[in-house]
Structure 1
Amino acid sequence: MALTDADFDRWISLSEAADYQNLFFIGTFDPRITFYSQQVRALRLVHALGKRARITAGQAVAVVGGGAAGIAASMAAAVHGCEVKLYEQRTDILQLQSGSPRLLHPHIYEWPARGSLEADAVLPMFDWSEGEGAAVRNRLKTAFDQQRPTNLTVHKSCALESLTRENDEWRLTMVRDDGTPEEKLFSHVFLAMGFGEERIIGAAPSLNYWTDLGPASATAETNTKAYFVSGSGDGGLTDALAVLIGEFDHRRFTGAFLERVSKGKLAEAIEAAENGLALGADLLPALSEHVLPILSSRHAIDFVAGQLRTDRTLTLNAEPILARGRAARLNQVMLLALIEAAKTQAGRLSFSTGEVSDIKKDGDRFRVFGPHADGVPIDKLFDRVIVRHGPDKSARYAKIAQQFQVFRAHHSALLAAAPELTDSPRLAPETFDYFDALLTVRETAPVKKSARLVAAEHRRRSIRLSWDPAFQQLIQQGEDNLENVIASIEAMTDQRTIVLAAGPDKLGEHMEVLMRLRQASGGQLIIAATTDVYAQWSADKGVVSVPAGHLPHSGQDVPSADMLWDGLDTCLLRMLNAAVADAASGSCAGIGPIHSSIASNLSTTWQSWRSELAAHPKMRSDFLRLLFQVELAGKNRWDGASEHLAGLKSALVVMLATHEGEVLLPALCAPGNLFFGGNAVALGSGCEHINDRPIADYSDASQWDVDALILSRGEDGMFQASDLLTDAGEAPTSLTRACRVAPAVITKSLKWRKLLNGDIKIWRDAVNKEFDAWRARQQKQLGGDIVA
């Protein structure tokens, strides 16, 4: 669905309060905060400002904060031609992640949505793939340093001092580490300052999210240690897992956990559990009802139970333990599994509720004040306490407290009115294309500019098929989709590329029909494989290799193979429709002129047949299959090749014309596809060869097992030498007997083409004569009544 002005206005409103125009807070109060989501929020905000003509070239723009949102916002404004100053309090950009061993994954917090396990961010600038924080940071810093334009300057070791409104501008004062102030006026100010340090309570140790990985350790405790973790956000839940899971590694554990669950069913169960629950509501009862049975049946509980440590106990303080929207669904589901698994070890995991008012040291241990269990205050010494109550945002924004409070009230009201805005943001394809086009315009190197234009055109014309590990199914991505392509594939005027980003084991039967659709397109549909899987497809010479790039579009269901086959049949029907229309006007390629008295009835008959075929899909499939290829034991559908169309079209026209003398009806009657005369079987086909031999070579009626043949490649008198076939005495019936007399035969031979150019009475007489001769042979040589 295309973006609208309402979308742009909504994106702006998520960052700007009406009282403070052109002052933007990026993600400050949004509940789903990840490295990727902050990049997306920055890009779509600047996209919206550009589309609503609220940011233009030459304006002075300040960006405060050199993290994920800050570098994205500064670059986005710079490519609009603004004069941008990026201020960073630390000594370098992205410094928080500079030594971090934590896993950075662009989409995993969107799980179980499609694409949530995709390792690539797919961004128009500062793109990245999953990895340790330090490695990702280093790649992005290198990209920033290399791509930063001259109208974007970076000022490091600068802290925000004040921000005041002055007419239509903002006066921003920054202070360097040496105390030197810098005061400037800006038309726009983007605040991407992060969220402050983790709140500290009493004697609790200070923990840094990026550098302190919490309690995970491969070393066994000398004595059983008691742990206290407070918080139900991602930090608290991850720490709870790390306390009780042996040799915990978030990335490996998550991967192993996901291998054991039914992804698609789990997604549906989570959706059912969250349905109707407000943001912050207790999820545990609903998850226990909908999700826990799946985890149990898929052995996920057994897996977690097998990893439990026996040298630690945990008290988890949270209210509620699992709150809707407070943490990533994946972390919540894994904690649900931990809760259930811990029931196998009494005392391993307990819970408390209530605000932590103080934490005091008691020797080498800690005493926690405030929380209670079952109404009784906790009276226990803990070996380690971990408080994950989130950062102190008020302290971070103390210098601009008034603007901060106004925006917080504005943002809270916005989310209360539209809870869907709390969902993790995904970059819209239009936003990707918007910035990609701006970057291309600004590219000065001709070779690079040309490469960008080619890549953009390739994205526009591509449909990517890949295997989605989150849903365990094939998905398609692209500006277009297979359904649209197939709907008019024979009339395509520009090329499309189907990019296979999965191997044959994932494509299955889809591949066969895609190859046929490629032929039906007349060369407009290209089948390509990404370099990482190309070797698996290289045996098919029609598959070309393309770079393993990604598309910025959300994954959608791929039509089933049956739906694609149906699309191929529909394509053939459209071509046959055109042939019938031409014939109705008095001419058919491969046949020549058709007398108007015959031609005038063809469309009416075909319309009746089409209605019958549409009502019976299996009949339609068999009718078209036999029209294309006569295989006495197979099901070889139309291969999409244009060189076969002339025969198929002329065969159909001859079949429709034959109806003028002998009433024919489409039917499920293999090896034929038409009934006539009650229960007699006819085969109408444009087939040219059977097993590489011309169709005319099959002059033995027993090879056909039908009562009439209407062919575009047969010959008159094909069965003159075999009027009678014996059935070893079995009583014959037209549909079930094992023998046939020589069938009636009408072909596209010179004789019948001349008759088609004559009056309808002459044509009918000839058709009647052919079928009467068949009836006479049946009566004379097989006995019994003549089929009416």
Structure 2
Amino acid sequence: MYVLGCIDRRVTIYSQQVRGLNLAAALVAGEQVSVDDDVVVVGAGAAGLTCAAGLRRLGAKVTVLEKNSTILSLFRLGSQRWLHPGVYDWPLDGWNRDRAGLPVLDWEHGQVNSVLRQLEDAWEQEGDGANLCFDVGLIGIGDAGEQPRRVTWETGTARTRTVILAVGFGLEPTPLADERSYWEADSFDYDRKDGPQRWLVSGCGDGALTDLFRLCIQDFRHDRVLLDFTEDQRMGELREQIRQIEANASIQRDPAKLHDAYEHLNAPWVVEAMQQRARSHNVTLVAPTADFLNAQASPLNRFLAGQLFRARRFRFLQDRLKSVDRANGKVVVRFKNSAVQHFDRIQRRHGPESALASGFPAIAEAVEKDRRDRQVRPTLTDQTRDRFWVAGAFGEPRTPGGVAAARAAAARTSPRREQRPNAGAFQPDSANHIAGSTQLDRDAAAAFVDDPNLARVEDELGGVRIRPSRPASPDAEGSQFESASRNESQGQTLLASTLIVVIVGCLVLLIVIWSL
């Protein structure tokens, strides 16, 4: 069982698609999936559909289970956000490409509804032959000992050796009627006729900072703003400073150092442009830490937020929300350490309710440690979003020999780390699975989540070694301890014997020399 794109930091549409194709290539390269093998993909979002399309190209039979009544359901909530495949790669080179450039389900930057149409058209071609099931509620997955596993849902059943959970991150709660989840339609970009409003934005991740920009800068779009800023020759030096910050492990481990490094970046031409494009809203950003330019956001958003703060376009408040209510048309906010304040609107960006934990709680618990580890990794060095499949790995589906050529290309993937497919999927393995049979990078996947008998993944020489993390029986732990003690005792006995032999030998040698 593979968990795809549910626990990673970089969660753009493009990065989720790359993880899906990396996993498809990794499964073929590791001989986990062969031609005509049945694969079940849970989730018909960008990651799930792209992975399914890649597996179809490689000759697998794919069933996609989706809880909603359509594919790409998040894209249908009316959001006016602008999607771009590379803007969050800034300051790395190539960020300003217009197309994703993917072998399947490719798309060009645009508003959400435009990207939706492109992906729908691409899936209509690539998904031909896939079994797509909608309105799927409860899903039953057999244990790892059952091979192939039996997967059941309300209206169907399948047997497979490979299950891919691509259920996404979930949606944010929206306690007030006029709050919106990240993908829902909102009115942030429009000015009210009755004048500017007083806004409170809570959070310091990418979602919160993007909403902050939209409220403070007229007609804000990441790619448009960056293109305007990069015309200044001083931007080259600034980009290099940011690369150095992101490559500095000491800075990345210390939230205060990271915040200060971005706060001290000085781009007066950016500040001036932000002041010229300023909207009239009175905006407050609240976060529980003073270091709001932290690892929760991308380098791009940290940089822009730092310059927006220099431009004095928002007020920052270090505090926590205690309660939020509506009274007399105002939002009444009680803070933990500050006085009660009244706002016209509030938008909380505290993260989504985990779709993985909701649908598959045991699996969510199994990958929780890895999820936390990933949250502290620098985003620019997150390899799960890098392409690890070789050129031509997915071939051309409509040409003679396309599947065979694609599989041959995928199988040529080197086992070396720098070329190995990396799916961004963590796989705590079953203790019953053959150790070391999956020689893929630990980020590429591990095999078969099996609760409660999970296993520990240990890096070794760039590969993975799977070892049981729990004893097979109640007495196994004691037996292992006794075995270790016995081995230690045997080692001590051997050492003592060796010393005795050496001492006796020396005495004999001295006697011989004395007699001569």
Give the match's secondary structure for 1:229.
strand
After TM superposition, list the pairs within 5 Å mapping 1:770-781 onto structure 2. none
2:392 aligns to what? 433
After TM superposition, list the pairs within 5 Å mapping 1:319-358 onto structure 2. 319-342=289-312, 349-358=314-323
Q: Which amino acid aligns with 1:84?
A: V
1:136 aligns to what? 115
1:48, distance to aligned residue in structure 2 (A):
1.2
* Counterpart check, 1:126 vs 2:86: no
Aligned pair in 2 of structure 1 residues 147, 183: CA closer, same or farther (>3 Å)?
closer
Q: Deviations over 1:430-451 (max 9, x none)?
A: 434211267755559xxxx99x
Q: Deviations over 1:516-555 (max 9, x none)?
A: xxxxxxxxxxxxxxxxxxxxxxxxxxxxxxxxxxxxxxxx
Q: Select 2:173's aligned residue among 199, 206, 211.
A: 199
- Paired with 1:169 and 1:279, the residues of 2 have a C-alpha distance of 43
1:286 aligns to what? 261
Give the match's secondary structure for 1:359.
strand
- Paired with 1:239 and 1:118, the residues of 2 have a C-alpha distance of 24
- Paired with 2:68 and 2:212, the residues of 1 have a C-alpha distance of 31
1:97 aligns to what? 75
Q: Which amino acid aligns with 1:331?
A: N
1:235 aligns to what? 207
Q: Deviations over 1:276-321 (max 9, x none)?
A: 22358243311233x21xx12xx21111112223342434435355
Q: Deviations over 1:138-184 (max 9, x none)?
A: 1221121123342x211122234333315234333334xxxxx4333
2:278 aligns to what? 308
After TM superposition, list the pairs within 5 Å mapping 1:533-682 onto structure 2. none
Q: Select 2:349's aligned residue among 388, 404, 407.
A: 388
- Paired with 1:187 and 1:280, the residues of 2 have a C-alpha distance of 43
- Paired with 1:63 and 1:280, the residues of 2 have a C-alpha distance of 38
- Paired with 1:334 and 1:193, the residues of 2 have a C-alpha distance of 31
1:131, distance to aligned residue in structure 2 (A):
1.3
Aligned pair in 2 of structure 1 residues 411, 396: CA closer, same or farther (>3 Å)?
closer
* Counterpart check, 1:112 vs 2:86: no
- Paired with 1:330 and 1:279, the residues of 2 have a C-alpha distance of 18
Are 1:216 and 1:249, in contact at CA under 8 Å, matched by a contact in 2? no
Aligned pair in 2 of structure 1 residues 327, 252: CA closer, same or farther (>3 Å)?
same
* Counterpart check, 1:183 vs 2:157: yes
- Paired with 2:379 and 2:262, the residues of 1 have a C-alpha distance of 20
* Counterpart check, 1:367 vs 2:332: yes
Are 1:232 and 1:320, in contact at CA under 8 Å, matched by a contact in 2? no
Q: Which amino acid aligns with 2:308?
A: L
- Paired with 2:362 and 2:5, the residues of 1 have a C-alpha distance of 18
* Counterpart check, 1:256 vs 2:217: no
Aligned pair in 2 of structure 1 residues 232, 440: CA closer, same or farther (>3 Å)?
farther
* Counterpart check, 1:66 vs 2:39: no
Are 1:199 and 1:391, in contact at CA under 8 Å, matched by a contact in 2? yes
Are 1:230 and 1:386, in contact at CA under 8 Å, matched by a contact in 2? yes
Are 2:42 and 2:66, in contact at CA under 8 Å, matched by a contact in 1? yes
Aligned pair in 2 of structure 1 residues 91, 422: CA closer, same or farther (>3 Å)?
same
Give the match's secondary structure for 1:142.
helix
Aligned pair in 2 of structure 1 residues 133, 300: CA closer, same or farther (>3 Å)?
same
- Paired with 2:22 and 2:161, the residues of 1 have a C-alpha distance of 19
Are 2:229 and 2:235, in contact at CA under 8 Å, matched by a contact in 1? no
- Paired with 1:366 and 1:402, the residues of 2 have a C-alpha distance of 38
1:333, distance to aligned residue in structure 2 (A):
1.4
Are 1:32 and 1:423, in contact at CA under 8 Å, matched by a contact in 2? no
2:188 aligns to what? 215
1:260, distance to aligned residue in structure 2 (A):
4.1
1:379 aligns to what? 340
Are 1:91 and 1:156, in contact at CA under 8 Å, matched by a contact in 2? yes
Aligned pair in 2 of structure 1 residues 310, 105: CA closer, same or farther (>3 Å)?
closer
1:216, distance to aligned residue in structure 2 (A):
2.0
Give the match's secondary structure for 1:93.
coil
Q: Which amino acid aligns with 1:288?
A: E
Are 1:88 and 1:156, in contact at CA under 8 Å, matched by a contact in 2? yes
Aligned pair in 2 of structure 1 residues 355, 189: CA closer, same or farther (>3 Å)?
farther
Q: Which amino acid aligns with 1:113?
A: L
- Paired with 2:73 and 2:165, the residues of 1 have a C-alpha distance of 17
Are 1:50 and 1:56, in contact at CA under 8 Å, matched by a contact in 2? yes
- Paired with 2:42 and 2:233, the residues of 1 have a C-alpha distance of 43
- Paired with 2:219 and 2:374, the residues of 1 have a C-alpha distance of 42
- Paired with 1:263 and 1:439, the residues of 2 have a C-alpha distance of 45
Q: Select 1:273's aligned residue among 222, 231, 245.
A: 245
After TM superposition, list the pairs within 5 Å mapping 1:737-748 onto structure 2. none
Give the percent of matched residue pairs that are identical in Structure 1 and Structure 2. 26
1:629 aligns to what? none
Give the match's secondary structure for 1:369.
strand
Give the match's secondary structure for 1:259.
coil
* Counterpart check, 1:400 vs 2:360: yes
Are 2:282 and 2:314, in contact at CA under 8 Å, matched by a contact in 1? no
Identify unmatched segments of 5+ residues in structure 2.
410-516
Q: Deviations over 1:651-677 (max 9, x none)?
A: xxxxxxxxxxxxxxxxxxxxxxxxxxx
After TM superposition, list the pairs within 5 Å mapping 1:439-450 onto structure 2. 440=399, 442-443=401-402
1:413, distance to aligned residue in structure 2 (A):
4.7
1:380, distance to aligned residue in structure 2 (A):
0.7
- Paired with 1:182 and 1:169, the residues of 2 have a C-alpha distance of 16
- Paired with 2:314 and 2:169, the residues of 1 have a C-alpha distance of 31
- Paired with 1:45 and 1:265, the residues of 2 have a C-alpha distance of 36
After TM superposition, list the pairs within 5 Å mapping 1:505-520 onto structure 2. none
1:409 aligns to what? 369
Q: Which amino acid aligns with 1:182?
A: G
- Paired with 1:413 and 1:311, the residues of 2 have a C-alpha distance of 38
1:121, distance to aligned residue in structure 2 (A):
1.1
- Paired with 1:309 and 1:43, the residues of 2 have a C-alpha distance of 41
1:416, distance to aligned residue in structure 2 (A):
6.7
Aligned pair in 2 of structure 1 residues 424, 396: CA closer, same or farther (>3 Å)?
closer
1:132, distance to aligned residue in structure 2 (A):
1.5
1:573 aligns to what? none
Are 1:245 and 1:307, in contact at CA under 8 Å, matched by a contact in 2? yes
Aligned pair in 2 of structure 1 residues 408, 96: CA closer, same or farther (>3 Å)?
same
- Paired with 2:242 and 2:384, the residues of 1 have a C-alpha distance of 16
Are 1:233 and 1:326, in contact at CA under 8 Å, matched by a contact in 2? yes
Give the match's secondary structure for 1:222.
coil
After TM superposition, list the pairs within 5 Å mapping 1:22-33 onto structure 2. 23-33=1-11
- Paired with 2:88 and 2:301, the residues of 1 have a C-alpha distance of 9
1:397, distance to aligned residue in structure 2 (A):
3.2
Aligned pair in 2 of structure 1 residues 421, 259: CA closer, same or farther (>3 Å)?
closer
- Paired with 1:415 and 1:209, the residues of 2 have a C-alpha distance of 20
Aligned pair in 2 of structure 1 residues 323, 49: CA closer, same or farther (>3 Å)?
farther
Q: Which structure exhibits the higher relative contact order, with contacts defined as CA atoms closer than 8 Å and separated by 6 or more residues? A: 2
Identify unmatched segments of 5+ residues in structure 1.
1-22, 176-180, 343-347, 457-788
TM-score (norm 1): 0.47
2:471 aligns to what? none
Are 1:62 and 1:188, in contact at CA under 8 Å, matched by a contact in 2? yes
Q: Higher Cα Rg: structure 1 or 2?
A: 1
- Paired with 1:101 and 1:31, the residues of 2 have a C-alpha distance of 23
